[in-house]
Amino acid sequence: MTVALSGKDIAARVEEKLPGSLEDSGDDYLLVKADSLVAVAEFLKNTESLNFDYFNFVTAVDYYSYFEVVYRLESVEHNHSIVIKTRCYDRDNPAVPSLAGLWQGANFQEREVYDLMGIKFEGHPNLKRMFLWDGFEGHPLRKDWNK
Amino acid sequence: MTTTEIMTLKTEPFVLNFGPVHPSTHGVYRMRTTLDGEVVIDLEPVVGYLHRGIEKLTEERTYGGIIPLTDRLDYISPMSNNLAYCLAVEKLAGIKIPERAEYIRVIMAELQRLANHCIAVGSFLNDAGAYFTPFMYTFRERERIVDLFEMVCGQRLTYNYMRIGGVSQDIPEEFLPALNKLLDRLAVFIEEYETLLKENEILLARSKGVGILERDIAIACGMSGPVARASGIKRDLRKDDPYSIYDRFEFDIATCENGDCYDRYRVRIEEMRQSLCILRQAVKDIPGGPVKADVPHLIRPPAGEAYGHLEAPKGELGFYIVSDNSIAPYRCHIRPTSLINLGALRDMVKGWKVADLIIIFGSIDITMGEVDR
């Protein structure tokens, strides 16, 4: 059974190593500050007992007052998973750091989020639209698109 | 020109487009390849030709009304898509489904895996140059599986059979005898097919050692399904994160070590055998009773989020659903197996010739409906 690790437990370990990097944590997620996302992701990936080597998916949700970017990570060796989230409050120019350097699997999926939700992934090697054409106006998965 | 003059001729890499409409690309997929002579030195995938905005559409529909949309993701295996979506909603709303429905779902999911692998293996051999003969054999068998699907839901491609809380209707009386007959037939067919191809010299020459996907790249790219298992990653959600009632069945996870095209083919054949094994157990144990839980037509799951996933024939298919306690999801993200499995294509084809590119791409087994959504 894939064990969904408790967000609270992981949060304690992250806080110990990287104090002040978290905004909040719940039973099943970590809410990371956008500027410490890469450091936390590196910690989760490279700590032996956690070993989150498998990038399951990334997506984003539009809550009007902020965008929430959701990542799900897994470990093939330990068969456990964790959801990490980060928020961007700047609606006009939302940006989070890219994790494509840590996990190759993030490459296409971050492009997809950029295309449909309009969130920029800073440091992405090839950030351009995935499905829609370059001249397309707006980002359709935003709640206020075409309204 | 003399030979020496030819040898010293300057050459330049050039860009060649495959697709979007090309017989080798299995749909509307475009590969922008950079070639040095006949050798692929770079590849850039261009997708989006089949983008229908399914994730956006889900926000305008009721939870039940989304099931037909999922049929149109990976249209080779709609039953698995239906099931993955229903699992996610049931997790979100905390719905328990009746025993008989669980068994019917497993039967449908495994039949779907057989049907999918029939197409995957057939078209792979097609790409390998065995033009349409092996494809026709596998298509013939798939046809019989589709006949069974037609028997239960009246459809042959977009089944729309699963429901939140069970399945739309019970299987008819003649279904199980027909399924038993088909299982015997498929067991013979797989062995017959294997006799023809397992040690076929041309197939071995074309696929053994070709397009190797290293284990660590496969993990880094988030590969799943037969492609990952052929690279030695023993990850199968039916065992690792058992959903529905998969913990009740005995079966093995098919894995190989080399990660080449031949291994991917072998894993699929072995998985077909294992599916037959699961189906036999399911047919033996299926209980009577209702096939749908008492769920209202318009459900309002409590506000929150859930991720439901399963081992679809092509790999991990998941639905991440956010609910705001209304009749439609606030957000529904689909984890697209096919798109993610394409992430390693560039690493797999670099240094191989154009003819190998076709077979390597074919061995991944993707559906554009799921890549573009």
Residue among B220, B222, B330 whose CB faces A56 most closely? B222
**pLDDT higher than 70, residue B28:** yes
Task: Tell me how crowded residue B198 is: count the other CB atoms within 10 A of its CB.
Answer: 14
| pLDDT tens-digit readout, B238-260 | 888 888 889 889 999 989 888 89
What's the rounded mean pLDDT across residues A66-75? 91
CATH 3.10.450.50 fits B3-372, yes or no: no
Are B50 and B28 spatial neighbours (Cβ–Cβ below 8 Å)?
Answer: yes
Residue B367 φ/ψ, nearest 5 degrees: -125, 130
Contact between residue A58 and residue A110 where contact means Cβ atoms under 8 Å apart: yes
Q: Set out the domains of chain A in order of their start, with CATH numbers.
A: 3-92 (3.30.460.80)
- Pseudo-torsion of CA B9, B10, B13, B18, nearest 10°? -30
- Closest CB from A59, A76, A79 relative to B333: A59
| B332: pLDDT strictly greater than 80 | yes
How is chain B split into domains, by residue range?
3-372
Give contacts of B240 with chain A, Cβ < 8 Å.
1-2, 79
Chain A hits for B235, CB-CB cut-off 8 Å, are: 76
Per the listing, tokens 């007959």 go with B181
A59 conformational bin, left if phi > 0, alpha if psi -120 to 50, beta if neither: beta
pLDDT confidence tier of residue A34, bands split at 50, 70 and 90: confident
Banded pLDDT at A33 (limits 50, 70, 90): confident
Average pLDDT over residues B162-184: 91
Q: Do B51 and A54 touch (CB under 8 A)?
A: no
Which pLDDT value is given to residue B146? Answer: 93
pLDDT confidence bin for B226, thresholds 50/70/90: very high
pTM: 0.89
| ipTM of predicted complex | 0.90
In this predicted structure, the answer to whether residue B155 has a pLDDT above a threshold of 90 is no
Chain B residues within an 8 Å CB radius of A104 = 217, 220-221, 343-344
How far is Cα A51 from Cα A49, in angstroms, rounded to an integer?
6
pLDDT classification of A7: cutoffs 50, 70, 90: low
Please give the mean pLDDT across all residues of chain B. 89
Q: Which helix (H) or strand (E) holds B134?
A: helix B133-153
Question: Would you give the DSSP letter of residue B326?
Answer: S
Cα angle B209-B274-B179, degrees, rounded to a multiple of 5: 130
- pLDDT recorded at residue B132: 82
For residue B331, give the nearest of A57, A61, A103 by CB distance. A61
Q: Which of B59, B92, B333, B348 to mutate against chain A (most A CBs within 10 Å)?
A: B333
Is the pLDDT assigned to residue B181 strictly greater than 90?
yes
Residue range A69-96: mean pLDDT, rounded: 89
Contact A32/A97 with Cβ under 8 angstroms? no
Judged by CB atoms closer than 8 Å, whether chains meet at A1 and B242 is answered as yes
Instruction: Say if the Cβ atoms of A55 and B51 lie within 8 Å.
Output: no
